[in-house]
Structure formats: structure tokens, C-alpha cells
Structure 1
Amino acid sequence: MIITYLGGEFVKVQFGDITIAFNPPAKESKLSNSRFGADVVLSTLNDLDMNGTETIGQGEKMPFLIHGPGEYEIKDVAIRGFATESMYRDEKRINTVYTILLEGMKLCFLGALGNPVLPSVVKEEMDDVDILFVPIGGEGVLTPAEANKLAVQIEPRLVIPIHHEGIGVQGSLKTLLKEAGEEKAQSVDKLTIKKKDLEGKEGEVVVLSKS
């Protein structure tokens, strides 16, 4: 599996011949975009910074679009979406938290989550999360302190911060690393990982440089 961070909350996950895109910005967004073909596009919040599903496509390849809560299965990838709260742009809205099962790994993408207190049904889904994508930028989504506290509660093997490049409060990443005691964490261009690589890891923060 290869994970690439494209700024904002835009993330690309590749495994085998399947590509998943999370929260691509719309053309109208001030966030930079990156065009590529994807099989599945997930949007957690109906906002131009995170709902640019029309920007993901290549030739005649049209992705499967997921915009909210529910259960989905595409090409042996099992996806579940759960409604939570966001205050992005100071407006209370529904943010969908997604869990994705693929290659024997469980990913959880929190999107623009604004409330660190998860609904009980979402808490139950947080068992055995391998990789957690958590927003840290404040301004309607989790602050670094809230993000770190929630990550400790969920107990994933890896934590990947999002919502900090081109969006959110400046310096959020540095603050999160201090909160997590990971000040010496080095950023990498992309994360290439297999299930066996996760053995023995407990809440390790992986910083991905914006590609």
C-alpha cells in the first residue's frame, strides 16, 4: 500500500491496481489539486475544500463516489461511513467518518471531525484500527491537543495527521508532534507499507510531506 498526502485533507491510497482518493478539493477551492484516476472517491464533508469529486477521473475511467454514511463494497474493499459533527467554516454540518478494510488492514479517515467525543456507534467501529488519518488544524476541526487525545483513545498502530497544509491554524503540525512526544519525527514523501510492517507499532505518528 502506498499513501500520499496532497495537502488539506486530500489523500491518495494505492494498493495493487486500485486507487482511493479522500477529500479532493473542488476546482473552486483555494487548495491546490492533483489530477489522477481513482477507482473510489470518498468525501467526508459537503464543502468545496473536500468535495471535488469531479476533479478525480482519467479518460473514460469514472470513480465510484461515496458522499456519506452507509456500507459499501467495491472491488473487495469494504467501506463503512458514520455521521459525526464538524464546525468547519463555523457552521455545524455532518462529517462522515470512514473505515476501510483492505489488504488485511483497517484504515480510519476522520475527515473534518470537529467533536472529539465520538458517537457510541463510531466508538465501536474503532477497534483494531491500523492507520488513523486525523485532522489537526483547529478552526472547526480537531485541535492538535484534541487530535492527540482521540488518537490515544483509538489506539491505532499508525497516526497520519491531515488538515495542516494550506488549511487550518499555522503551526498545528509542530504542536501535535509536541503533544504526542514525537518532536523528532521526520517527514517522508509517501508511506509504503504492508500489514507485516505494522507489527509492534503503537500510535506512531507518520508525517507525510505535501506532494
Structure 2
Amino acid sequence: MEISWLGHSCFLLRGKKVTLVTDPFSPQQGEESRLSEISASIVTVSHNHSGHNNVAGVGGSPRIVRGPGEYEISDVLITGIASYHDDKRGQEYGRNTIYVIHIDDLTVCHLGDLGHVLREEQLEEVADVDILLLPISGDHTVNVTHAAEIISQVEPRIVIPMHYRPATTGDVPDPLNKFCREMGIETMNTQSKLVVTRNSLPAETQIVLLSPR
């Protein structure tokens, strides 16, 4: 499977037979995207905010997955898990859906705009996650301290941070800098995409930094 970050919380998961896009953002986000050039099979939407629900901007005729439940589309199994956009049970920003995606013998978890550490019932659903797509900005999502706690809760093999604005000047974005310090990462090497199989998963948790395409 190939994973590319398109910016914000939007990823392109390209499997052997299926292409999936998470949380497509609107052009108003100020981050360039080539969503219309991507012909996706599936689009997941974690919550109905403009930075995450621009399904019309994705090319092709994808199946749209919104909200908690179990979905099976083109041999891809998706479980939507109820959660909150804040740490006050949704009183500030509403609800959020975590997605656990089984694709090409790998399990990917997209946390959306999660605003709290995982609760016991949510942890049961993400127990076998290989790859965790994790917000780190602290801007309407968990901050770096809670992000590190979630990594300890889930113990995935690969973590890819998201939901921070890439720097345009060559400087390291502040949320990413704080996250790397929290995780003890001294050298920040970014890559354009991650190609991963079941056999190539690292033995211990590894942080992968992607540059938006």
C-alpha cells in the first residue's frame, strides 16, 4: 500500500485494487490540493466541517463513508467509531468519527479531529492498528502531549502526524517541532510518500513524517 499526505487531515491510501481518500478539505483551507485529479473508490469523512468534508472535490465516483458503523466496500472493511471533537463530550465542537480501515492486509486508523485521549470502548476497536494517522496541532484537536499518550495507548507500528500546517519558509512548523521533541526525535526527515506492506512493518513504533503532495 502507498500512503500520501495531501495536507490537513487528508490522506490518499492507494491499495492494490482500491484508492481511498480521508477528510478531503475545501480550497478555502489555503492548502493546494490535486484532489480532482485523483479518482478515488472511497472517501471517509470524520465530521461535517469544511476542512474535512469536501467530497465533491474528489475525482471519480467514490462511495462516501460518514459516521459510526461497519462498512464493506470493494473488499475494504471500515469501522467508524464514535468520538468527540473536544474533551467536553462534544459540547464545544461536536462529534468526530474515528475510522479503522482494513486494506491490503494492513490496518490503518484515521483519528479525524479527535479532541481527547481514547476511552476504553474506543481502544478495544483500535487494538490491532498497524498505522495511526494522528492529529497533533492542538487547534481543535489533541495537543502533542495527548497525541503522545494516544500513541502509548494504541502502540501502532507506524505513526504519521497530521493536522498541522506545513511551513512555507523552510522552518519546522511549531506543532511538528513540539511533537518531535515530545517523541524524542532529533532528526526530522520527511518523505513524499510511504510504501508499506505487512512484511515491511517495523518491529517497534516508528514515526514517519510526510511532506504534503
TM-score, normalised to structure 1, is 0.90
Using the alignment, how far apart are the partners of 2:166 and 2:141 within structure 1? 14
Using the alignment, how far apart are the partners of 1:107 and 1:5 within structure 2? 14
Using the alignment, how far apart are the partners of 2:27 and 2:175 within structure 1? 25
Using the alignment, how far apart are the partners of 1:115 and 1:180 within structure 2? 18
Using the alignment, how far apart are the partners of 1:64 and 1:101 within structure 2? 16
2:193 equivalent to 1:190: yes
2:155 equivalent to 1:152: no
Aligned partner of 1:109 in structure 2 is: 110
The structure 1 residue matched to 2:50, chosen from 45, 48, 51, is 48
Aligned partner of 1:179 in structure 2 is: 182
Aligned residues: 203
Shift of 1:175: 0.8
- Tell me if the contact between 2:16 and 2:104 (Cα under 8 Å) persists in the aligned partners: no
Shift of 1:108: 0.6
Using the alignment, how far apart are the partners of 1:146 and 1:105 within structure 2? 25
TM-score, normalised to structure 2, is 0.90
Shift of 1:102: 1.4
**Aligned ranges for residues 121-132 of structure 1 at < 5 Å?**
121-132=121-132
Aligned partner of 2:101 in structure 1 is: 100
SS at match of 2:150: helix
- Give the gaps of 5 or more residues in structure 1: none
Using the alignment, how far apart are the partners of 2:212 and 2:66 within structure 1? 24
- Tell me if the contact between 1:77 and 1:102 (Cα under 8 Å) persists in the aligned partners: yes
- Tell me if the contact between 1:157 and 1:204 (Cα under 8 Å) persists in the aligned partners: yes
- Tell me if the contact between 1:131 and 1:156 (Cα under 8 Å) persists in the aligned partners: yes
Using the alignment, how far apart are the partners of 2:122 and 2:115 within structure 1? 14
% identical aligned pairs: 32
Using the alignment, how far apart are the partners of 1:78 and 1:194 within structure 2? 17
- Could you give the per-residue CA deviations for residues 154-210 of structure 1, whole angstroms, max 9, x where no partner exists? 10000000001259xx5101111111112224110100111100141x221000011
- Tell me if the contact between 2:4 and 2:12 (Cα under 8 Å) persists in the aligned partners: yes
Aligned partner of 1:81 in structure 2 is: 80
Using the alignment, how far apart are the partners of 2:151 and 2:119 within structure 1? 15
Aligned partner of 1:63 in structure 2 is: 62
Q: Which runs of 4+ in 1 moved over 4 A?
A: none
The one-letter amino acid of 2:73's match is: I
Computed over aligned residues only, the root mean square deviation of the Cα atoms, in angstroms, reads: 1.8
- Tell me if the contact between 1:24 and 1:33 (Cα under 8 Å) persists in the aligned partners: no
- Could you give the per-residue CA deviations for residues 46-78 of structure 1, whole angstroms, max 9, x where no partner exists? 100000011012xxx310001111100011100
- Tell me if the contact between 1:174 and 1:183 (Cα under 8 Å) persists in the aligned partners: no
Using the alignment, how far apart are the partners of 1:140 and 1:11 within structure 2? 19
Using the alignment, how far apart are the partners of 1:91 and 1:34 within structure 2? 32
Shift of 1:27: 4.1
Shift of 1:140: 1.5
- Could you give the per-residue CA deviations for residues 119-158 of structure 1, whole angstroms, max 9, x where no partner exists? 3321101212100000001122011111011111110000
Aligned partner of 1:119 in structure 2 is: 119
